[in-house]
A and B are shown apart, each in its own frame.
Chain A
């Protein structure tokens, strides 16, 4: 109950973002109870019913194998959450550690940030493609690759912020109080990075969806039989004129989720900071 109240307080006056949050919760719940919701087995092939129009019993229609598009969408939510959380974790842990340590220890930073620079010289998708071609198509590898792609930007952002924080007077004050490297990094610097990290997480979560969809679309992401929104787009793209709903539903799901995550991220950025007291009116 207290958590609910807190969430409502955070989202006070930001109705659109609240709808976004609601949507994300819905996706999460759907992902959790996917087996209960899906009326059909998402892998079950039924050639007789291929390319059925949306209706009863196939709410979103069926694809060219006759698999139920609604069931695949429901399981796709599961994939979306797994890919999102996984990539965010990889990106934040790798990028966070690299960025913070690079800024804190100058010499290490000179070396690590050059590596990051080189990786960032590649366009995100190209880097993901290169890494993916070296690895096998699997869920874990997709997560690792997307995570590493966004770890570079995370490292850059946290590097800059840590560098700035390091110059803050309260860091000097903490040093004078006797704090060592660990205390400075984890008690003084890290908590002040929470809001940029949260914002970054929300954007990575959103972009990971797009990136995963793009990789799936190019046939380099998840194995094709796995029900993900990206795979659904990729598999059915040639039927865009005959059965547009096969693209509209997963496409809409991707857009809604990405948009919602961005809205929620904005609110988090504004509210997580205890210094930020005045409410900004609007969404």
Chain B
């Protein structure tokens, strides 16, 4: 039973659960809203952009990030905590030879702490089913045509781990500051459906 979670029935179930928990006095009516607001306020793609820009300018940070992302994030004041449990993060690096792309085929697992809420297409059955079997075609639909020689590695966030793509630093950006580089990074670049 690893099929799609249909949005509407699950949403209805969550609403019912919330109502029952409130009725039984186990949950304060505002408690959940407050927790969600605090969480989504901190969770933004701007966090992911900072991670990438730092990795581009600091080889030591990049190495630590690729080795153990959860241990490296606090160096720039970030973490994968804030949800129900701290999530394990893997940062996967694009190179001249390898391009990485991320999906959750079972539902919509996503590094929300670093990227904010996921885009609608990420949750669509079309993306989830096709990017695992035909990544080159899917990436082309996003306007990203990779050379035939580039090896594509797809990462299915099907269990406990979350992923973030470290895009390649664009050429001729040696003169840019870390702040300026931050502005070059895009959310799709961190999912792998864009180059940067």
User: Is chain B found bound to chain A in the same assembly?
Assistant: no
Which residues in B have some Cβ–Cβ distance to A below 8 Å? Answer: none
Which residues in A have some Cβ–Cβ distance to B below 8 Å? Answer: none
